[in-house]
Amino acid sequence: MDRNDNKLVKDLAEKILSGDILSLSKSITLIESVKDEHQKTARKLLNSLVPHSGNSIRIGITGSPGVGKSTFIDSFAGYLAGLGRKIAILAIDPSSTKSKGSILGDKTRMQKIANNPNVYIRPSPSRGSSGGIADRTRETIILCEAYGFDTIIIETVGVGQSEVLVRTIVDFFLLLLQPGGGDELQGLKKGSVEIADLLVINKADGDNINLAELTKNAYSLAVHYLQPATPGWETKVVTSSALNMSGIPEIWEIIQDFEQKTKQTGAFESRRQEQNLDWFYSLIEKNLKDLFFGSSQIRKKLHNIEKKIKIGKIIPSDASEIILNYFINSLNK
């Protein structure tokens, strides 16, 4: 089995490095699998491809539903492709909390780039993951970079303030806003605004042009009172229209300027290193949680303790200490 597994890993790695898009898609499906044997194979594959990753600019794009994320990304990625960039779009669709199903309709919403050979769109279900990203987005980034994509765009689900986690996997964070966001300024949407490197007032066209400019001025004033999301970088605020491409070239210039300046100061590499550590600790937390709740003994013990908590026979703090001690003792047996 190990010999066949190693052969599969070697075959997939070689094909990805040689530019075989089908093997890339198969590999992403492999790392997204929840089966233990698939995860073991996926880790071997990732280890073989990590030395070939890291050579991209990772851009997170988010915004509330209706702000025009897909249309913006369609125009933005199309512009970059025209410059010769190779773009991977990792679009995260919100999974249904009841059926766990997901629409995965990004390819139909991005008609300009759907058939562009320089653009790869990979929709993935969030499966209830917090933070607006899918469970294996970090691993998918490694595969896409090894394939040769120099621009990774992550479109999040845009679920309130949960985009904060996206900041831990991208270099540059772009927040799309609607014209006329005056009411939002009262709360500053701080969970999103304070982690953004660029605020884009989208849909700045037609009757919205003047309103978009007023919104831009309001946010420009507001961001001065916030700590910069990236050391040494002042958060920018611009307007754009994905429909008529206005502002798109300027946005790319800002991102290039950001990359150049943060690499010169060391902030770019420092953030990447911190993100790897964050990934490491988040995996420890996830694996411990899976180990704890995956134990049939623990589940049985929990059932009994839950009954006592409900009727007030034990306080939650004592109950948690009892169950954790029980879990630790079971590991030592």
pLDDT at site 36: 85
287: Cα separation from own chain's centroid: 20
Q: How many CB atoms sit inside 10 A of residue 154's CB?
A: 25
pLDDT at site 276: 94
pLDDT at site 233: 95
Per-residue confidence band for 194, with pLDDT thresholds at 50, 70 and 90: confident
The pTM of this model reads 0.86
Q: Report whether pLDDT(234) > 70.
A: yes
Range name among 43-52, 96-105, 214-223 with the lowest pLDDT average: 96-105
The predicted model gives 89-114 an average pLDDT of 58
Asked if residue 23 lies in contact with residue 12, where contact means CB atoms within 8 angstroms, the answer is yes
The predicted model gives 219-235 an average pLDDT of 89
Selection from 3-7, 16-20, 35-39 with the highest mean pLDDT: 16-20
More reliable by pLDDT, 67 or 320: 320
More reliable by pLDDT, 163 or 52: 52
Per-residue confidence band for 175, with pLDDT thresholds at 50, 70 and 90: very high
pLDDT at site 99: 37
Per-residue confidence band for 16, with pLDDT thresholds at 50, 70 and 90: very high
Provide the percentage of residues in the chain whose pLDDT is more than 90: 62
- Average confidence score pLDDT of the chain: 86
Q: What is the pLDDT of residues 271-319, one digit of tens each?
A: 999 999 998 998 899 889 989 998 989 999 999 999 999 999 999 999 9
Question: Which structure tokens are listed for 260?
Answer: 């150049």
pLDDT at site 4: 78
Neighbouring-strand partners of residue 238 = 200
d(CA 69, CA 242): 9
The predicted model gives 221-235 an average pLDDT of 89
Strand arrangement, sheet containing 236-239 = 119-125, 87-93, 151-155, 57-62, 172-177, 198-201, 236-239
| SS3 per residue for the chain | CHHHHHHHHHHHHHHHHCCCHHHHHHHHHHHHCCCHHHHHHHHHHHHHHHHHCCCCEEEEEECCCCCCHHHHHHHHHHHHHHCCCCEEEEEEECCCCCCCCCCCCHHHHCCCCCCCCCEEEEEEECCCCHHHCCCCHHHHHHHHHHHCCCEEEEECCCCCCHHHHHHHCCCEEEEEECCCCHHHHHHCCHHHHCCCCEEEECCCCHHHHHHHHHHHHHHHHHHCCCCCCCCCCCCEEEECECCCCECHHHHHHHHHHHHHHHHHHCHHHHHHHHHHHHHHHHHHHHHHHHHHHCCHHHHHHHHHHHHHHHCCCCCHHHHHHHHHHHHHHHHHC
pLDDT at site 192: 78
d(CA 189, CA 253): 26
The predicted model gives 7-27 an average pLDDT of 96
Q: Report whether pLDDT(104) > 70.
A: no
More reliable by pLDDT, 132 or 228: 228
Provide the percentage of residues in the chain whose pLDDT is more than 70: 85
